[in-house]
Structure 1
Amino acid sequence: MSGVVPTDPEQPTGEMEKQIISPTAVPDAPPDYNSHFVPGPAGPAAPPPAGLPTGYNIPQHPGAISLYCPVGSTHPIQYQPGRYPMTNQPAPVMWMPGPAPMPNCPPGLEYLAQLDSIHVLQHFEPLEVMTGFETNNRYDIKNNIDQMVYIVTEDTDDYTRNAYRNLRPFVLRVTDCLGREIMTMQRPFRCTCCCFCCSCARQELEVQCPPGATIGFVAEHWNLCRATYSIQNQERESMMRVRGPCATYGCGSDSVFEVSSLDGASNIGSIIRKWNGFLSTMGNADHFEIRFPLDLDVKMKAMIFGACFLIDFMYFERTPSRRSSV
């Protein structure tokens, strides 16, 4: 029929959109709202502060947050407040700066040559409080400005710790900031079933620095009223003595162990067990402060340091009560 006009076949909707929208079409530019603004002359550019990474803008106001601007781009990236919260990182351990080697000084004892007092802080062990299971003791050794000097760890097997408790033989290893073992303290087992005046029942501690080289001994002496020790050199010659208070288990006050000459005429130093409350006592976390003269021989300082641990195990190491079988 001549009156009918032919039409194109129906096309899918997607094909029609492709024909209508040109791939090269560019959207209209946004209106320039700042066309009325006339910029003034540019001022001198301030140099960036030292240490600022490349790509960060300098804050113009106190407390402003620096914006990160990638190199080659003019648009800084600003993060939404609260989107990336700061995590609470633990405070780093501050160690005492390592001193230079000294002549006639065992390696690792150079720290003691610069100190006249140190603090022995025992770690709190929750497992002992909850179960009564004895674990290896650990101690942090710090100076007066809270810098770490040494770390002391006990190396004893589980059976020995829980069978003998505070009478157990032990090995204490002293390490420095590099993890090197610079000192070893050993306590042999001594039977306590015989008379206290017998020499075989007296406690003893051997100090080695470096490990394997004995520098002295801490020997207990029998006394009816108070704790008494002698600090000996490697030849077992007595050099100093340590005398404790009559009431060693001080409650509510510090327990002071005086370090003096053999005749007791001159006071050399002291080992003070600090009273930190009942919670610290029940948690078996002792705190000792050791004082000695600054010019004292470093080996004798190490011996006083070792005497502190023998005193801790003998008088302040808490022994949990055991249930008796019915």
Structure 2
Amino acid sequence: MSGVVPTAPEQPTGEMENQFKSPTALPDAPPDYSSHFVPGPAGPALPPPSGLPMGYNVPQHPGAIPLYHPIGGTHPIQYQPGKYPMRNQYAPVMWMPGPTPMSSCPPGLEYLAQLDNIHVLQHFEPLEVMTGYETNNRYDIKNNVDQMVYIVTEDTDDYTRNAYRNLRPFVLRVTDCLGREIMTMQRPFRCTCCCFCCSCARQELEVQCPPGVTIGFVAEHWNLCRASYSIQNQKKENMMRVRGPCATYGCGSDSVFEVHSLDGASNIGSIIRKWNGFLSTMANADHFEICFPLDLDVKMKAMIFGACFLIDFMYFERTPQRRSSR
């Protein structure tokens, strides 16, 4: 019959579905893959795309962390270990080479055994100047060739710092280039409302090296005209004396605190607060230079080092002016 169109023979339903399925259709269940990823060899370095800023490179494989390169540099910045907050992120911190351990020296004080002069540099805190909010003090300890020796950080809670200001009790932690705490300095709270000649009103600093082992104390003596301290051993026996100037705040000049023997006949060393101009008058960014004999007992060097911080808090820690509620 001419009007009848021939039809294809009927096929089973399953075969017809297989013919119309796309070759790229997803399977019903994901195949099993090995959970271990074995990276292959690194490919050639690719130039950074135009959308990224200069100084960054592109990861070569998934999961890679891009390294930061300074502009114009060829190697990533290498930081010394430790807890040092770097001021300049484009330059590494130069640390003093680590000395060999000494049997008669507390661990960590081997640096002081090789030095006769150190510099204590306090960090400038803009937050204190702008808001009057007291923050933890931080110091860099360097030698004469500008190499880092120690880092000193204050560990005091916010309420104590802002309630007592420069009279606050504090804990100072001294760390080396590896971030190890090698010395701890503690100042207890002393009531200043009592008579100045009373022993309970005199300031004191305890030095521990290593932390938990007391090696000495720095005790204040009452004096009508000038600052006076005694450096004591762990038994609180007087070993040396520190005498300050009549006027501790000298505008335009250094303030020198001399370290003498008990009889006052010989001058052992000095703690000099350097004049820094604007920073000395408006902000807490003090610079101290500590001098002592090279052959002095290393524990006594550490005690003179600790006396510097008690002097700083008592005479040179500027209390920011609080803004009036009006």
Instruction: Specify the TM-score bucket, using the shorter chain as the normaliser.
Output: 0.7 to 0.9
Amino acid aligned to 1:223: N
- Tell me how far 1:293 sits from its aligned partner: 0.2
- Tell me how far 1:266 sits from its aligned partner: 0.0
User: Is the CA contact (8 Å cut-off) linking 2:242 and 2:258 kept in structure 1?
Assistant: yes
Q: Structure 1 CA distance, aligned partners of 2:54 and 2:96? A: 35
Q: Structure 2 CA distance, aligned partners of 1:200 and 1:142? A: 35
Structure 1 counterpart of 2:206: 206
Q: Structure 2 CA distance, aligned partners of 1:280 and 1:224? A: 25
Instruction: Establish whether residue 173 from structure 1 lines up as the match of residue 157 from structure 2.
Output: no
Structure 2 counterpart of 1:282: 282
Map 1:119-130 onto structure 2 (within 5 A). 119-130=119-130
- Tell me how far 1:283 sits from its aligned partner: 1.9
TM-score by length of 1: 0.73
Instruction: Establish whether residue 112 from structure 1 lines up as the match of residue 112 from structure 2.
Output: yes
Q: Structure 2 CA distance, aligned partners of 1:129 and 1:304? A: 30
> 1:106-147: per-residue Cα shift (whole Å, max 9, x none)?
000000000000000000001000000000000000000000
Amino acid aligned to 2:312: D
- Tell me how far 1:281 sits from its aligned partner: 3.0
> 1:187-211: per-residue Cα shift (whole Å, max 9, x none)?
0000000100000000000000000
Q: Structure 1 CA distance, aligned partners of 2:281 and 2:299? A: 31
Instruction: Establish whether residue 233 from structure 1 lines up as the match of residue 233 from structure 2.
Output: yes
Amino acid aligned to 1:206: E
Q: Structure 2 CA distance, aligned partners of 1:279 and 1:176? A: 27
Map 1:1-40 onto structure 2 (within 5 A). none
- Tell me how far 1:156 sits from its aligned partner: 0.1
Amino acid aligned to 2:173: R
Q: Structure 2 CA distance, aligned partners of 1:146 and 1:121? A: 11
Q: Aligned with 1:231: secondary structure?
A: strand
Give RMSD over aligned pairs.
Answer: 1.7
Aligned length: 246
- Tell me how far 1:322 sits from its aligned partner: 3.1
- Tell me how far 1:323 sits from its aligned partner: 4.6
Amino acid aligned to 1:233: N
Instruction: Establish whether residue 262 from structure 1 lines up as the match of residue 262 from structure 2.
Output: yes
Q: Structure 2 CA distance, aligned partners of 1:192 and 1:283? A: 24
Q: Aligned with 2:130: secondary structure?
A: helix
Q: Aligned with 1:149: secondary structure?
A: strand
Map 1:31-70 onto structure 2 (within 5 A). none
Amino acid aligned to 2:161: R
Q: Aligned with 1:145: secondary structure?
A: coil
Instruction: Establish whether residue 87 from structure 1 lines up as the match of residue 71 from structure 2.
Output: yes
- Tell me how far 1:320 sits from its aligned partner: 1.6
Unaligned runs of 5+ in 1: 1-69, 71-76, 78-82
Q: Structure 2 CA distance, aligned partners of 1:223 and 1:216? A: 22
Map 1:159-170 onto structure 2 (within 5 A). 159-170=159-170
Q: Aligned with 1:305: secondary structure?
A: helix
Q: Aligned with 2:229: secondary structure?
A: strand
Q: Structure 1 CA distance, aligned partners of 2:121 and 2:108? A: 20
Structure 1 counterpart of 2:306: 306
Change beyond 3 A, Cα 1:323–1:91: closer
Map 1:243-258 onto structure 2 (within 5 A). 243-258=243-258
> 1:271-324: per-residue Cα shift (whole Å, max 9, x none)?
000001023431210000000000000000000000000000000000122356
Report sequence identity in percent.
Answer: 90
- Tell me how far 1:90 sits from its aligned partner: 1.2
Q: Structure 1 CA distance, aligned partners of 2:238 and 2:115? A: 24
Q: Structure 1 CA distance, aligned partners of 2:129 and 2:325? A: 21
> 1:27-68: per-residue Cα shift (whole Å, max 9, x none)?
xxxxxxxxxxxxxxxxxxxxxxxxxxxxxxxxxxxxxxxxxx
Structure 2 counterpart of 1:183: 183
Q: Aligned with 1:218: secondary structure?
A: strand
Q: Structure 2 CA distance, aligned partners of 1:246 and 1:280? A: 18
Change beyond 3 A, Cα 1:84–1:153: closer
Structure 2 counterpart of 1:139: 139
Q: Aligned with 1:321: secondary structure?
A: coil
TM-score by length of 2: 0.73
Structure 1 counterpart of 2:221: 221
- Tell me how far 1:255 sits from its aligned partner: 0.1
